[in-house]
Structure 1
Amino acid sequence: DPNVSHRRRNRRGTSSSTSAGTLLQNHDRVREAFPSLDKVNNLNTGTYGIMPEPALAEFIEALSEWERFGVGTQGRHWGKTRAAREGLARLICAAPGDIALTGNATDGNNLALAGLTWQAGDEVITTNEEHEAINHPLLFMQEHRDIRLRRIEVSPDADVMLERCQAAWTPRTRMLMFSHVSCESGTRLPAAAMCSWARAHGVLSFVDGAQSLGAVSVNVNELGCDYFTSNAHKWLCGPKGTGFFYARPERMVELIPAHIGAGSLAVADLATGKVELQPDGRRFEFGTRAHMLFAGVASSLDWLEGLGWPNIYSHISFISSYLKAGILERSHLRLLTPVPYEQSAGLTTLVVVGHNSGDVSVDLRKEGRPRRIVVRVIPHYNAIRLSTAHYNSVQDVDEVLAALDEYA
């Protein structure tokens, strides 16, 4: 049994096959920036993160001033939108012009799918563990553009995934579209290997990083993807309704926006009729935009950068590994997420054997507990999903495991 060594490990230690990382230094000070944790054990960052108080204060100040004074602010906070673009681009090792600011990761999926020209019978390979952010646009494309979908089962193993990609490939395959980290099982897919396979077969590669960015290091150059999308409201703890879309420069200029407005055109000459799209991500940005939401993104990124991204990734690795070890010690819990951290991220999915996951979720958040425990239900597997973020602690994990012991 490959999990035996993990069941026998010291709860604060790590087996040789798992990168456990280390806790953030002065974590009590980090926790002070999230006072709601005194009342709620928030283990659902994978749905919505929570803003650190210093960033939230800056965001509220900027939003209040903008809504009170409008253009009377003289654009004092508009530079924060530029800072957010630069910060997001820096986080994925891209140029600021390579990204478009959006409302969420789903927007990015749609920008690429709608921006390409499709022929009836074109095919897209995707996986069996996708969020509606991928599934629903693809289903719509299947119905209204007559494309075909081929789904392959998720695995963290590169050789297995390449074999499955090859088995699903046909001469009509146009795109490989998948989540970097599955929102269901928490599996981290071998994205770089999959994108390399796609490139070798003349297939476009699209990586949805909603559950990876901010939890693990992401470098789009190393991934080799044509497109990447994510949000700022989960692991980046920014305002809700913020995200971005990345495309390689040569791919960005191929995309034709479905909607155009003030800002998306580099040339708009009424006299001659000449029109030219912006050469970069700005082609997808137009009209009145939510500048102050992205001011909040910039503030959250500043705060997180102050902790140091390597430190954040290491902390998430430690807490996730600690949680998995606790699950493996309990016969009434069944772990669905790969044990090695290199094959997962900040999401851990488990089954409470013999119990309905929805009922368990409701019970965990009920009043009367020392703190309400918030998790996510994964109906596909009758499972619950726990997110362990930079603000979560060993005590948070111990508390939820003790609550789950009530089901033993």
Structure 2
Amino acid sequence: MEIRMVSCMYLGVLLSTLAMVASQTVVQYLPGYPGILPFKLETGYIGVGEDEVVQLFYYFVESEGNPAQDPLVIWLNGGPGCSTLRSFFYEIGPLLFEYGKYVDDVPLLKLDPNSWTKVANIIYLDSPTMTGFSYTTIPDIVTNDTLSASNTAEFLRKFVRDHPKFLNNPMYVTGISYSGIVVPIITEEIYKGLISYELYEATKSNCHDEYVQANPNDLLCMKNIEEVNRRVMDINLQHILVPDCEEEVSDIIKAGNPIRPTKRELIGYEPIRMLKAKTSRNMTFCPDYYYSYAGIWANNKKVMKALNIREGTIKEWSLRNTNMTYRYNEAVAGYEFNVNDSVVYHAKLTKRDCRALIFSGDHDMVVPYIGTHYWIRSLNLTNTDSNWETWYVKDQVGGYKTSYARDNYSLLFATVKGAGHTTPEYKHEECFTMVKRWFAHRPI
């Protein structure tokens, strides 16, 4: 699986007019973990889209290293429709399940020594809507790649607005499996800020770098300035991070609006039955057996209360919403696949001041690393090393790497030896070591 990580050093101007109050809860205790959590966990919802009808749920873990300086990372899962709780427990998060052990009918939790949160502030986002605990107030909503990317970019702007201490941290947009489609689109959306790159260039050219005393008879310039003003009209120009309160929000949508139930199949449903019952059948060979722990945990009422989940917003939490899962160009009920190729977005990013890390498990046949390397080469970047050098973890080969660059853009492509589609799930320590070095701007 290719995992795409793109760095944005600056997050643009933030929207401030809200239709629903964003919720944040600092979680100190989690069912299944004995005692107070030794890391800072925050959960909450942030509304996006028109009238904020889409409510995206997130888990945010502050870095256990140096939160003020460590990067801010947003992590998206694949599918689409796979909850990031999978990554939280099985891939890059601070907690693991103690398989076979329970506390008050809840799977026992333990700390993960290879959690990426030791070197980064990480947002685990349930995106797109109807993934995990995220929901919408519109029944039968259908989203798509570009809308999902736009919603995530809006989420990030609002998250940083609500957490301004991270405004100057390096930021990385990351994702696994299908989210590799939307990661570069999200990054490009962030670079745009409130006005597009094309509008910026057109205004600069047509107004000849004069905006305050622009020629009123220059119709093209006036049209561009009018459009720029329209894009920023809801921003408090005195302080872009402070809400614009000239017009009070009159109708606040109350938390917990019910939605029409949809079929949200729980991966590993039958293994859950087997876990709860004392069966002689050995299911430990099956990944669904282990994924079912997440289903038991997340659907527990005590867990939902601890996470401050809005009652009635979803019928049942599932690791993957099968109404959105990518089926190789087949139409599905809950998602429209409207981006066939995201390489064009990567090509745009090569003109930015940007770092990118892309890594793939060399045992993945869903998105083979050979195909990933093929499209990377199509960007026509300059190879900056001897090509396919080994990288190591504890004196053992972790995989192979090659680097590319153009002007202020750099891209590192690495394989992870022995890893499958969800790379960190298979090679926990190797992936953690790799990103720890990369976040620190060291050779992997």
Class of the TM-score when normalised by the shorter of the 2 chains:
under 0.3
Q: Answer 1 or 2: which has greater strand percent.
A: 2
Which structure has more RCO (C-alpha within 8 Å, separation ≥ 6)?
Answer: 1
State the TM-score, normalizing by the size of structure 1: 0.25
Q: Answer 1 or 2: which has greater helix percent.
A: 1
State the TM-score, normalizing by the size of structure 2: 0.23
